[in-house]
Chain A
């Protein structure tokens, strides 16, 4: 390393290395730039209420992006999060009519656990590509939800007041959803950095063969991971319905692509082994601000999807360059 001190390193390379070492700083700069652009385009929009709103809408996205972050660390992806979130939200809203809210929430999380388990077994035991596997289970889940909808069509749906409070309420200008999000975020960060399970995720993603040879039971790690991811998605669904307040069969679907994009922007490598949750949270904030910006500019939904696709492609390609550079 002493050679780098003697020879002057070109600025571009130094910048690259800096970004690779501290991915959070350029992300925060990007976030600030976006907010400034927003303020310039629509002076006065950036105020306390806007801030609370942005945080409120970024939280469900950030939790789902957490599912993507954890699965992507092992080189996977979980595209069933949208369906799982929708299912748990819809089931909770319809079951709460006849049951106690706590019971309804427990019932609502059952399909989440089941889908996670199927995903985990498919990916961990049968070694199906996670993308195909989670796409398949989300298809099955949507079908099940449609059948379920027929059986409860007469009973109607409602949203328990405390979920609405959690989803939309503000206390002293601070969104109540943070009460749920902060513990989850701390837990994810702690799990990833400080526990054996978290380190196993990095190990499996970085070099599966090596992890296997050092005694990691691959299928157990992967099964546990996908169950956790699904349960988190189910909890997100419960929170999201408190925010949107209208149960539908495509409630959380629009969050799936942004959740992948948020994790990728946040610096988690889609190939596994690199990344973390803090970057993902900022990625979710960036995407939420970006969505506001695109809405102000009257960009249609199609253009937004194109943009998300391009972001995923360019950021992945850029990360690949940075890794190769070392």
Chain B
């Protein structure tokens, strides 16, 4: 019970931090309004999916270094498939790319289970492979995206009669919440979800209690691949092109997972914390930009914050173990 309170307290604290940061943003830039919030959510979207992908694997007791590369590969695949194709063709592209993420993620999991090489090495190797594949699909940033797909994350939802509230609900946020909930809530309530927590907590104990460890691990990595594919699609949707070199999604995802209260050892935490954490991290960046700090310096500060968060998380894990 106390643990539950503490965990929810952590998420609540993060939410408070987010609101405080929003207030600070308003103070720095009095004109900061719903439109800017919409662009924040659009910028967060790929990061949020990357974080979701990382979270599920970390809960299962692993780590996925190939998240960024997987996003790059799915993004360039989607962008090059939609390049010059009709609008309806995108209806086929989206499920194809999602399925690709699911399968590649499952391959990750299978390699870990079959070769018994530690997850960090296997996903490092698949990081190379996926990056190479992304470069083969598209040598330089390019491609295109169907207009209706772009439209799904631009603008706000319109609730009749409530223009003021609906202006603060960007479509991108709705998309994010729907995508995450559709997968996460049924998972969390199913036996499979419990198994994922179980193998993260103690693989041996889970095995002895009859949890199919190998299968659960493969499914966790497959879902991670699915989320990463969503991230890749979101990346293509927000930029309109595909880029074969991934951004700093890997480090950002690990930092947000740690900040979101998911223990790097596995078995603890939920999805909400990391998602709020990624919003906090991106809002810090926005604030730095609004303070007219050189974007390169912003990158340094952001990197330093992420490294500090990861250090802090590792320190906590170490203290917890002793």
Which A residues are closer than 8 A to B by beta carbons?
122, 126-129, 131-133, 135-137, 139-140, 142-144, 146-147, 150, 257, 260, 270-271, 300-310, 312-313, 316-317, 320
Cβ of B134 within 8 Å of any chain A Cβ, yes or no, is: yes
Residue of B nearest to A145 (CB): B296
**Contacts A139-B303, A150-B296, A320-B116; A127 near B136 (Cβ below 8 A):** no
Please tell me the size bucket of the interface on B. 35 or more
* Cα separation A122 to B124 with both chains bound (whole Å): 20
One of B190-198, B222-230, B311-319 at the interface = B311-319
A-B contacts, 19 listed (Cβ < 8 Å): A122-B311, A126-B312, A126-B315, A129-B314, A131-B124, A132-B310, A135-B251, A140-B307, A143-B296, A143-B297, A147-B294, A260-B124, A300-B136, A300-B139, A305-B129, A305-B131, A306-B136, A307-B132, A316-B117
B136 touches A128 (CB 8 A): no
Main secondary structure of the interface of A (DSSP, over half): helix
Task: Using CB atoms and an 8 Å cutoff, list the residues of chain B in contact with chain A.
Answer: 63, 65, 111, 115-118, 120-122, 124-137, 139, 244, 248, 250-251, 254, 264, 294, 296-297, 299-300, 303-304, 306-307, 310-312, 314-315, 317-318
Q: Are B132 and A302 in contact (CB under 8 A)?
A: yes
Are B133 and A306 in contact, CB atoms less than 8 angstroms apart?
A: yes
Verify B132–A140 contact, CB threshold 8 A. no
Q: How far is the CA of A303 from the CA of B294 in the complex (A)?
A: 37
* Known contacts A129-B120, A143-B297, A320-B115, A309 near B310 by CB under 8 Å: no
A147 and B124 within 8 A (CB): no
Q: Which of B132, B312, B317 contacts A305 (CB 8 A)?
A: B132
Residues of B within 8 A of A313 (CB): 111, 115, 117, 121-122, 125-126
For A149, the closest partner residue in chain B by CB is B296
Q: What's the Cα separation between A257 and B127 when bound, in Å?
A: 10
Residues of B within 8 A of A257 (CB): 128
Q: Which residues of B contact A135 (CB under 8 A)?
A: 250-251
Establish whether residues A301 and B135, one from each chain, have CB atoms under 8 Å apart when the complex forms: yes
Question: Does the CB pair B307–A305 fall under 8 Å?
Answer: no
A324 to chain B, nearest CB (A): 9
Q: Specify the chain B residue showing the minimal Cβ separation from A261.
A: B128
Q: Does A136 contact B300, Cβ atoms closer than 8 Å?
A: no
Given known pairs A132-B254, A140-B304, the reply for A146 and B135 (CB within 8 Å) is no
B126: chain A residues at CB < 8 Å are: 309, 313
Judging by beta carbons under 8 Å apart, are B118 and A143 in contact? no
